[in-house]
Amino acid sequence: MADNNNSECDGNCSSCPSAAGCNDPKKAESGIAKKVDMNVRHVILVLSGKGGVGKSTVSTNLAMALSNKGYTTGIADMDIHGPNIPKMLGIEAEKLTSFDGKKISPVKITGNLSVVSMAFLLPEKTSPVIWRGPMKNTAIKQFLEDTEWGELDFLVVDLPPGTGDEALAVAQLAPNIAGAVIVTTPQEVAILDSSKSVKFIEQVNLKVLGIIENMSGFTCPHCGEAIDLFGKGGGEKAAEELNVPYLGSIPLDKEMCEAGDSGKPFIVRRDGTEQNKVTWQHVDDVMENILKQIKD
């Protein structure tokens, strides 16, 4: 199914990445799920080509930044096998409850920020989720459609690394997707994988909001020297080569790591140190650039 006009459609909707945006009547017979019914203005996908690049950190800080601006915001932690959002928000002990016997009540962080995550359903923090694709897809649909989100300005979707079941299911099911933020680190192996994420988003006919280069440089707290532990500029170069926006860089900062482990997003921490101010400004600039891409 090559495009929305389906001039080259072969009828095989199940393997077509464009099926989510296609209006061909044949799709109704294919079993491809329709967009879920939820009241959200903008859905933002956060992806990475590989693990360990700070995708969940970006998702958490983005959602907190949006809620601090007064937007009603939700976080859907779609990393079924490795859900980290509750840890980063300091709500690991919470559990999902039923709203009316049918709808799921998300966990409230503030008056305008709420979360759903597989972590809230696990009997223990270390319990693995051993599921195949169909079960994951069912959970994803429930997190979107069967959750009492209310009216949302933004839903930030934290996806697992790569371009597998979860990413494709969300791309096909979620309504009003504003686009995707791709998180990478500067080294070439990460850039290669992030390029695949960009191509994936383009193939499912969604907008790439841009690339963020995380862990971009480190400033020694003792001598103040800048050290490029993982290189520098790879994310910006990839954005230029792929012709997508570059959203900015976030330096490698010890306090960023501590913020995630302590359950208090970095963007709400300002302890007054010079390095904290520099990192905070980088994070704030990145979040503003994401909003600008959505508004544009």
User: 3-class DSSP state for residue 221?
Assistant: coil
Q: Which of 65, 56, 46 is nearest to 86 (CA)?
A: 56
193 against 38, higher pLDDT = 38
Residues 194 and 284 reside in one and the same domain: yes
Mean pLDDT within 116-140:
93
User: Does an H or E element contain 177, and which?
Assistant: strand 177-184
**62 and 95 co-located in one domain:** yes
Instruction: Mark whether 224 and 280 lie in a shared domain.
Output: yes
At residue 128 the predicted structure's pLDDT band, cuts being 50, 70 and 90, is very high
Which residues sit opposite 219 in a β-bridge? Answer: 226
What average pLDDT score do residues 113-138 get? 94
Domain count, the chain: 2
| For residue 25, pLDDT beyond 90 | no
25 and 141, same domain (yes or no) = no
As annotated, the binding site for ATP includes: 49-56
- The residue with tokens 């900062």 is 253
Verify that 176 and 258 share a domain, yes or no: yes
User: Could you tell me which residues are annotated as the binding site?
Assistant: 49-56
CA distance 30 to 13: 6
Phi-psi region of 61 (alpha: psi -120 to 50; beta: other; left: phi over 0): alpha
Q: Does 42 share its domain with 19?
A: no
Q: Residues of the chain with pLDDT > 70: what percent?
A: 85
Structural domain span for residue 15: 1-32
The pLDDT assigned to 5 comes to 42
Same domain membership, residue 130 and residue 108: yes
> Is the pLDDT confidence value at 27 over 60?
no
> Are residue 125 and residue 210 in the same domain, yes or no?
yes
Residue 8 binned pLDDT confidence (cut-offs 50, 70, 90): low
pTM to 2 decimals? 0.86
Contacts of 190 (CB under 8 A, 6+ apart): 49, 50, 53, 184, 230, 234
Do 206 and 242 lie in one domain? The reply is yes
Question: Is residue 61 within 8 Å of 77, Cβ to Cβ?
Answer: no
Domain identity same for 155 and 211: yes
Distance between CA atoms of 151 and 138, rounded to whole angstroms?
23
Residues 16 and 89 in one domain: no
pLDDT, residue 102, reads 82
Looking at the fold, whether 22 and 163 belong to one and the same domain comes out as: no
* CATH code for the domain of 148: 3.40.50.300
Read off the DSSP letter of residue 267. G
**pLDDT value, residue 52:** 85
Give Cα 138 distance to the centre of its chain: 19
| Closest C-alpha to 213, from 233, 197, 196, 195 | 233
